[in-house]
Structure 1
Amino acid sequence: MVDKRSSDDSTNRRRRECISCGKRFTTYERVEDLDLTVTKKTGLKESFSPEKLKAGLLKACEKRPVTEERVDEIVAEIEKECRDEYGEEVESTVIGDKALEKLRPLDEVSYLRFASVFRAFESIEHFEKEASSLKDAQDRVVNKIKKVRKRDGRIVPFERERITNAIYKASIAVGERNKKQARELADKAVAELNVLGFTEPSVEDIQDVVEKVLIEGGHAKTTKAYIIYRQQHAKMRDMKSTFIDIHDVMEGYLKQSDWRTKENSNVDYSFSGLMLHTAGSVIANYVLNEMYSPEIAEAHRDGYFHIHDLSAGIVGYCAGWSLKNLLVRGFGGVPNKVD
């Protein structure tokens, strides 16, 4: 093999050379996905057909403000979700429900068209009932929330579907797979946020309200899974705060652009100094996050004050001696000691 390149679609392009004649040629290698089997209502099984699903969606969206590109995205999303959630076999009703779930926020008419085929409407009453249900769901939640404040301070567009997905994933963790119920609970959470007067809630505000809705709805197991999910992600965020960019640390020392390279006057600019600096940066970050309170750590980072020799924070200061022992006991065992 002479050369190898990977593309975005998980295809490996390999440039090869024949050992006999020296002629070069190219091969393409791609991981083959296992077939996704669809079980129909009649019990018959068939391979999942993206083309068939796309055709049905395009027909429902005909002359509506839904682009073919968006339909392609919906098909890909549904296939991925089915594989992730159900493995190699999924019921046709699941695919239909997912399609309706994607169409509902996009276009009401497309939603009703697809629902009429998927749910086999037989009379005008069926259309009226579905349309009424759709309108009732919209009337229940008069949403004034357009933006959400992320933990890092960024303001991003509000997406109700994120709440639905979070609740649904929590329910999956306890053996439930009811997307409709997850959507209804998300609607209740959004309604509660509006009642509380939020117009630009934080992520924490939203999660607190979701917990409240789950508890009040009697979903104890899902609530527990959701709380555990929050705790795990909080722990992951805390862990990230102890990470350092080793490239920046190395560059800062080698180019001497980081003032901390000269923080210790007893260490000169050298390879051993580089080793002490990089190791010390890791220790300093650990000490700041694990030994000091969040308030002190934040004040240090924001420059309100400076904690000297953080890299020696585990032992107190750079010499490695216990200040308490020095002050209380003096330099015991040293000739002409100073008490």
Structure 2
Amino acid sequence: MRCPFCGHEDSQVKDSRPTEDGASIRRRRQCEGCGARFTTFERIQLRELTVVKSENRREPFDRGKLERSIAIACRKRPVEQTRIERLVTAIQRQIETSGESEVPASTVGEMVMDGLKALDSVAYIRFASVYKDFREAKDFEDFAGSVSEVGRE
């Protein structure tokens, strides 16, 4: 594992333990070059996944990107990081077990929307405002109104 501080090629594992959700292994490492310590996570990957973006652009599925976008939607909300990680893991597993190696970005977006809807309504609206590309305040009002109507049913 390359050191993130000095770029040295070798590091030594000092400690390994499973994460709270058991979906990955947390490893504490020490660089053999500069002696710095850092943490890595090892996860099971069932297959190489590709996300098909607009205009048929393709890019590898990036769990970190998914986690960052959900975390941004949940910023300053009472949502624990472990719940965000569980949502990301659930979405990743759902994609991996679908049997497809390519998944449309719109499918991933809808999975995030469904997960955030159950997690936090404000985060759901925040994510939707970017995902659905709201152009004006009226778009935002209409969507927020539909969310509050669903909550009253």
For normalisation by structure 2, the TM-score amounts to: 0.69
Judged with a 3 Å threshold, the aligned counterparts in structure 2 of structure 1 residues 116 and 9 are, in CA distance, closer, same or farther, namely closer
Aligned to 1:95: 108
Corresponding residue to 1:45 among 44, 58, 74: 58
Task: Could you tell me which runs of 5 or more consecutive residues in structure 1 were left unpaired when the two chains were aligned.
Answer: 1-6, 12-29, 142-339
Aligned to 2:49: 36
Distance 2:146 2:24 in 1: 42
Corresponding residue to 1:66 among 79, 86, 90: 79
Structure 1 residue 68, shift from structure 2 partner: 1.3
Are 2:113 and 1:81 aligned? no
Aligned to 2:11: none
Q: In the comparison of the two structures, how many residue pairs are matched?
A: 116
Please say if residues 46 and 96 of structure 2, whose CA atoms lie closer than 8 Å, have aligned partners that are also in contact.
no
Structure 1 residue 87, shift from structure 2 partner: 2.1
Match runs of 1:1-339 below 5 Å: 33-139=46-152, 141=153
Distance 1:92 1:109 in 2: 22
SS of corresponding position for 1:121: coil
CA deviation string 1:18-76 (max 9, x = no partner): xxxxxxxxxxxx97532111001221011110100111111110000111111111111
Please say if residues 47 and 96 of structure 2, whose CA atoms lie closer than 8 Å, have aligned partners that are also in contact.
no
RMSD of the alignment, in Å? 2.2
For normalisation by structure 1, the TM-score amounts to: 0.32
Report % sequence identity.
Answer: 32
SS of corresponding position for 1:58: helix
* 4+ runs deviating over 6 angstroms: none
Distance 1:66 1:10 in 2: 21
Task: Could you tell me which runs of 5 or more consecutive residues in structure 2 were left unpaired when the two chains were aligned.
Answer: 1-17, 26-42
SS of corresponding position for 1:78: helix
Q: Which has the higher helix share?
A: 1
Structure 1 residue 105, shift from structure 2 partner: 2.1
Judged with a 3 Å threshold, the aligned counterparts in structure 2 of structure 1 residues 32 and 99 are, in CA distance, closer, same or farther, namely closer
Please say if residues 125 and 144 of structure 2, whose CA atoms lie closer than 8 Å, have aligned partners that are also in contact.
yes
Q: Which has the higher contact order (CA 8 A, sep 6+)?
A: 2
Judged with a 3 Å threshold, the aligned counterparts in structure 2 of structure 1 residues 33 and 129 are, in CA distance, closer, same or farther, namely same
Distance 1:34 1:134 in 2: 35
AA in 2 matched with 1:38: V
Judged with a 3 Å threshold, the aligned counterparts in structure 2 of structure 1 residues 134 and 32 are, in CA distance, closer, same or farther, namely closer
Aligned to 2:32: none
CA deviation string 1:209-263 (max 9, x = no partner): xxxxxxxxxxxxxxxxxxxxxxxxxxxxxxxxxxxxxxxxxxxxxxxxxxxxxxx
Judged with a 3 Å threshold, the aligned counterparts in structure 2 of structure 1 residues 101 and 32 are, in CA distance, closer, same or farther, namely closer
Structure 1 residue 86, shift from structure 2 partner: 4.6
Judged with a 3 Å threshold, the aligned counterparts in structure 2 of structure 1 residues 9 and 34 are, in CA distance, closer, same or farther, namely same
Distance 2:136 2:45 in 1: 44
